[in-house]
Amino acid sequence: MVIRNGQQTQLKGEVFYPAPEVIEAAHIPDRDRVAAEAQQNLAEFWGKIATENFEWYEPWERVLDDSNEPFYEWFVGAKVNIIHNALDRHMRTETRNRAAIIWEGEPGDRRVYTYQMLNHEVSKFASVLRALGVGKGDRVTIYMGRVPELVVAMLACAKIGAIHSVVYGGFSTEALLQRIEDSHSKVLVTQDGAWLRGNIVELKKIANEALERAGTIQTVVTVKRTGQDVEMVHGRDYWYHDLMTQPIAVASTPTEVMDAEDPLYILYTSGTTGKPKAILHTHGGYMVGTATTLKWVFDIRPDDVWWCAADPGWVTGHSYIVYAPLVLGATGFIYEGAPTYPYPDRWWELVERYGITILYTAPTAIRGLMRFGESWPNRHDLSSLRLLGSVGEPINPEAWRWYYRVIGKERTPIMDTWWQTETGMFMITPLPSMPLKPGSATLPFPGIDVDVVDDEGKPVEPNEEGYLVIKNPWPAMLRTIYGDPDRYVQQYWSRFEEQGWYLPGDSARKDEDGYIWVIGRIDDVIKVSGYRLGTAEVESALVSHPTVAEAAVIGVPDELRGNVIRAYCILRQGYEGSEKLEQELKEHVGHEMGPIAKPVSIEFVRDLPKTRSGKIMRRVLRARALGQDVGDLTTLAD
Ligand code: 6R9
């Protein structure tokens, strides 16, 4: 039984009610009250939050400018730098001596950075970047594993007003090259290698390969991590530790005063067609949106040890490993390696050793750990945990229940947060005091107006599937696609142009209690182990092989990884499909794109189903692969 809007309501379906202690202990506002406030006056709602919780060099003239929609602007006219809030201001309080980052490497080495130490390192690297000619608005590509220097590099860019573009360390040559070229980055920050399951991922070697073909990079800074010999190009390549001991590394580097709407970073993500899109986020609104959502949803307190187990190279890491926790002055934990290395209890050992209080991860990781059974987590004292979280794809109820029972010991609510690279912050999510339904991300965050609608934009009946739409702007929203504003409008705002709604590209259901159940992507985006990939990228990697004339890929459901990729290839004349070629093509995709993009199977075909205008009908391939009815084929060409 819960009280909502002053009335007692019995929710339908499988419901988990939070224990009274959880509700009482939570330092968070009452959801219904704040949601009502936000609904009454959105600008006032965010304006009040922005005033009370953040420091601005100069105040804004307007909280929200919607005069040029969909190019919304937030905190217009304000001067700020997210680094001032994430580091500088903490130097004046006792937060200075608190651990900002507790880190453990895969081989078991450990480091702790207090806020003071992190600020010192960031300031020095910021001055190194300046000395290398990086200025406000310049792009810096960062291609690294999960090491503290990755966080330092991001923060150092932000401090001097440069725009970072982090490329996930699991990506490979072609993916890195494309992202460097598209962003016209001047400087690349990388590392010799990253540890993964006891092996070295040779990041510098991959970077060298990409740089043979990329013209814009003038300087490469390499962090020494794994220690093997790497090729350094004279006059272009420097070691991080060398630069940081030079006189150019000055600790008193000032933080650049930025406009609230100045770019903070770009992050490439996969879209419907073509090459990945550079999603642009800004200093002011992004800071307000990410820190507020983290504070309310995970109820972060000074004595917490927050572990967001995502990779910093994806948006989850940007928002909730790097920026929001630091802005809140929280202590975050980062682990470098694989969850099951060397044994399947590595994560649980870490929870115990560091007294992790909140764990935030992806369903695919939970399913992966679940496979090894309960005895591994049961060997460890997990009683420090008080909240759990999930992100990246819908969580299947079975994994939810296991996470809740085996890891959370039926004490810790699970925050299933729906959001995207584009939204920057949690959009549909419970707060710890809310009743939960396994598999549902529950209700929109206060101030977010979400609905599920049909083709015409009419709300669908309860439990019917429809388009998920967001009806109003929010502070951490993407501002544009960097370098391609038309595509920004086309991609996100054209489907329901008349209504002015944002289209996330997901389908969903809303149940009779208003709880939202996200079903999955309605476009050509595939989520493999929670990682977002585009069919077009994998297809172009396949076609870049000399034997392949044409390729189509689809995502099919997989128990462990959520989805896996299946590919269909038409070979060039003179080539025959074989097991050997299939293997070679998989390796090729791995080499070009990265291991996560490798198809599980490749079928050699003579033809692909296409519309008369030549678009591949992946829906038909998917239906066939799943043994389902292929549906309406009237648009099929042949
Ligand atoms: C944060 C992140 C975004 C897409 C999104 C949706 C899926 C993310 C989810 C979820 C169901 C959740 N997604 N969280 N689906 N429940 N809690 O994952 O960003 O990589 O841009 O992916 O991920 O399909 O549209 P991103």
Average pLDDT over residues 268-287: 91
**Band of residue 6 on the pLDDT scale cut at 50, 70, 90:** very low
**Considering the entire predicted model, what is its pTM?**
0.95
pLDDT value for 9: 66
First to last CA, the chain: 57
348: Cα within 13 Å, side-chain hemisphere: 23
CB 391 within 8 A of CB 475: no
Query: pLDDT digits over 163-177, tens only?
Result: 999 999 999 999 999
Q: What are phi and psi of 260, to 5 degrees?
A: -55, -35
Q: Ligand 1: which of 267, 416, 418, 515 to mutate, judged by most atoms within 8 Å of the beta carbon?
A: 418
Q: Which tokens hold the place of 500?
A: 């002015």
Average pLDDT over residues 125-152: 98
pLDDT value for 637: 67
Query: pLDDT digits over 214-233, tens only?
Result: 889 999 999 999 999 999 99
Share of the chain above pLDDT 90, in %: 89
Q: Which residues of 282-317 are buried (b: 16+ CB within 10 A; e: fewer)?
A: bbbbbbbbbbbbbbbbbbbbeebbbbbbbbbbbbbb
Residue 258 has pLDDT above 80, yes or no: yes
Average pLDDT over residues 32-37: 93
Query: pLDDT digits over 476-525, tens only?
Result: 999 999 999 999 999 999 999 999 999 999 999 999 999 999 999 998 89
Helical segments of 76-172, H only = 82-86, 115-131, 148-159
CB 278 within 8 A of CB 421: no
- Among 362, 346, 414, 416, smallest CA distance to 385 is for 414
Residue 424 has pLDDT above 60, yes or no: yes
DSSP 394: P
Q: How far, in Å, CA of 92 to CA of 421, rounded?
A: 33
- Strand pairing of 506-510 and 516-521? antiparallel
Average pLDDT over residues 376-397: 97
Number of the ligand 1 atom closest to the C-alpha atom of 505: 25
Distance of CA 516 to the CA centre of its chain: 21
Query: pLDDT digits over 442-457, tens only?
Result: 999 999 999 999 999 9
CB 286 within 8 A of CB 324: no
Nearest protein CA to atom 3 of ligand 1, as residue: 420
pLDDT value for 270: 87
Q: At what angle do helices 173-183 and 579-592 cross, to 10 degrees?
A: 40
Q: How far, in Å, CA of 223 to CA of 238, rounded?
A: 9
Ligand 1 pocket check for 311: Cβ under 6 Å: no
Ligand 1 pocket check for 389: Cβ under 6 Å: no
**Band of residue 288 on the pLDDT scale cut at 50, 70, 90:** very high
- Among 226, 220, 140, 129, smallest CA distance to 180 is for 140
Share of the chain above pLDDT 70, in %: 97
Ligand 1 pocket check for 527: Cβ under 6 Å: yes
Average pLDDT over residues 34-52: 96
Mean pLDDT score of the chain, rounded to an integer?
94
Residue the block writes with tokens 């005063």: 257
**Band of residue 120 on the pLDDT scale cut at 50, 70, 90:** very high
pLDDT value for 10: 86
Query: Which residues contact residue 140 at a Cβ distance below 8 angstroms, ignoring those fewer than 6 apart?
Result: 129, 134, 153, 157, 162, 163, 164, 165, 185, 186, 187, 188, 189
Nearest protein CA to atom 15 of ligand 1, as residue: 393
Q: How far, in Å, CA of 523 to CA of 519, rounded?
A: 12
pLDDT value for 638: 60
Q: What are phi and psi of 530, to 5 degrees?
A: 80, -10
Q: In this structure, which amino acid lies at residue 341?
A: Y
Ligand 1 pocket check for 441: Cβ under 6 Å: yes
- Strand pairing of 110-114 and 99-104? antiparallel
Q: Ligand 1: which of 426, 506, 596 to mutate, judged by most atoms within 8 Å of the beta carbon?
A: 506
pLDDT value for 619: 86
511 CA distance to ligand 1 middle (Å): 20
In order of 292, 540, 541, 569, 599, the CA distances from 576 in angstroms are 57, 20, 19, 11, 19
Residue 473 has pLDDT above 60, yes or no: yes
Q: Classify residue 436 as exposed, middle or buried by CB count within 10 Å of its CB (0-12, 13-18, 19+).
A: buried
610: three-class secondary structure by DSSP? strand
Taking the alpha carbons of 384, 389, 392, 394 in that order, is the dihedral positive or negative? positive
